[in-house]
């Protein structure tokens, strides 16, 4: 039986890969999408979500969410993800965006599907933070809540200590960690969530949809050079890989906080790795990844997406 998943996302090239592999996998039933600002503006992330669905021929409800962080100024990353936030041959697919805010769409899905639903929030977190403020029972209503963000026991990727999604909206990330016992899939594992250059080249030379997906896979402007591995890390895809095969990621429980003070560690995760406080764990943190299994799930999903 397929797993019902609602994605809160800011497409974005790695978001596009994640959505494509989720749509392609029979094990995942994508019941809805909410968009959020992050990799690019909210107008672009919403348009990109529709384009990803259109390219693969899928019909999934899309709701537009927050167009700025709860507190901080918006910082986007088109220089990484491309003009309008998504590389490749992208159709002009505005789609039919629902007349409901992304935060309310999350709550609505929780009411409709209950404990059959998993929420996967893979961008900045203002939509999920607002949903939790409006419906504090949300974590108890659903099966699970996954986050792609943070760096618990490693360094950051936009500042020396902070990961991009959490740094984009530290106040929202702090609220989510306080209010929901999440599965945090951060840079501790996603830096190793790479895809082989051979697979990228196979898709690039195949043309058509596969060539577009190859652009999403090899999205860094310094294509061919990667700071922490010999291949591009598709961070968000690690979440879907674990939803399909729960042996991909290994989780351990820790107490986490997010620095919201505005200093050099703004947006960084503080992880009580050595249990030096009296605080009970409030998150399950991904600490290891089976890269071979991850790649198998990713490649299977993308092949299916590209052949729809």
- Going residue by residue through the chain, which has 308 residues, state the pLDDT in tens, using 9 for 90 and above: 799 999 999 999 999 999 999 999 999 999 999 999 999 999 999 999 999 999 999 999 999 999 999 999 999 988 888 889 899 888 887 789 999 999 999 999 999 999 999 999 999 999 999 999 999 999 999 999 999 999 999 999 999 999 999 999 999 999 999 999 999 999 999 999 999 999 999 999 999 999 999 999 998 765 444 455 567 899 999 999 999 999 999 999 999 999 999 999 999 999 999 999 999 999 999 999 999 999 999 999 999 999 96
CA-CA distance, 107 to 134, in Å (whole number)? 8
Catalytic hit among 101, 235, 266, 274: 235
- DSSP letter at 68 equals S
- Residue (of 113, 149, 139, 161) closest to 282 by Cα position: 139
From the number of C-beta atoms within 10 Å of its C-beta (0-12, 13-18, 19+), residue 136 rates as exposed
Partners of 62 in beta bridges: 33
- Residue (of 97, 103, 227, 231) closest to 175 by Cα position: 103
Q: Spell out the long-range contacts of 163-166 with Cβ–Cβ below 8 A and sequence spacing 24 or more.
A: 163/187, 163/267, 163/269, 164/38, 164/77, 165/38, 165/122, 165/123, 165/124, 165/125, 166/124, 166/125, 166/258, 166/267, 166/268, 166/269
Residues in CB range of 303: below 8 A, 6 or more apart: 24
Is 235 in the active site?
Answer: yes
Angle at 45 between CA 39 and CA 50, to 5 degrees: 145
Number of Cα atoms under 13 Å in the Cβ half of residue 5: 29
User: Cβ distance 38 to 168 under 8 Å?
Assistant: yes
From the number of C-beta atoms within 10 Å of its C-beta (0-12, 13-18, 19+), residue 77 rates as middle
User: Cβ distance 6 to 32 under 8 Å?
Assistant: yes
The three-state secondary structure class of 273 is: coil
Q: What is the pTM of this model?
A: 0.96
User: Cβ distance 176 to 168 under 8 Å?
Assistant: no
CA-CA distance, 152 to 292, in Å (whole number)? 23
């Amino acid at each position: 039986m397929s797993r019902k998943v609602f994605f809160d996302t800011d497409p974005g090239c790695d978001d596009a890969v994640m959505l494509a592999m989720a749509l392609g996998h029979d094990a995942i039933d994508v019941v809805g999408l909410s968009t959020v600002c992050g990799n690019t503006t909210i107008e672009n992330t919403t348009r990109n979500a529709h384009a990803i669905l259109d390219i693969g021929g899928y019909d999934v409800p899309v709701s537009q969410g927050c167009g700025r962080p709860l507190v901080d100024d918006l910082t986007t990353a088109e220089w990484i993800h491309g003009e309008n936030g998504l590389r490749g041959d992208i159709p002009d697919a505005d789609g039919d965006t629902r007349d409901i805010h992304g935060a309310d769409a999350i709550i609505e899905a929780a009411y409709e599907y209950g404990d059959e639903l998993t929420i996967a929030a893979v961008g900045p977190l203002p939509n999920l933070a607002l949903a939790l403020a409006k419906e504090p029972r949300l974590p108890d209503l659903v099966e699970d809540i996954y986050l792609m963000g943070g760096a618990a026991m490693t360094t950051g990727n936009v500042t020396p200590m902070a990961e991009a999604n959490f740094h984009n909206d530290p106040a929202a990330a702090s609220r989510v960690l306080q209010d929901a016992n999440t599965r945090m899939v951060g840079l501790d594992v996603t830096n190793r969530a790479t895809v082989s250059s051979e697979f990228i080249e196979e898709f690039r030379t195949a043309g058509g949809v596969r060539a577009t997906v190859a652009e999403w896979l090899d999205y860094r402007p310094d294509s061919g050079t990667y700071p922490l591995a010999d291949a591009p890390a598709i961070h968000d895809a690690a979440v879907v890989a674990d939803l399909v095969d729960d042996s991909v990621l290994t989780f351990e429980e820790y107490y986490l906080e997010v620095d919201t003070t505005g200093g050099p560690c703004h947006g960084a995760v503080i992880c009580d790795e050595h249990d030096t406080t009296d605080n009970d764990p409030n998150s399950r943190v991904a600490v290891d990844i089976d890269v071979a299994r991850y790649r198998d799930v990713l490649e299977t999903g993308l092949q299916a997406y590209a052949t729809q």
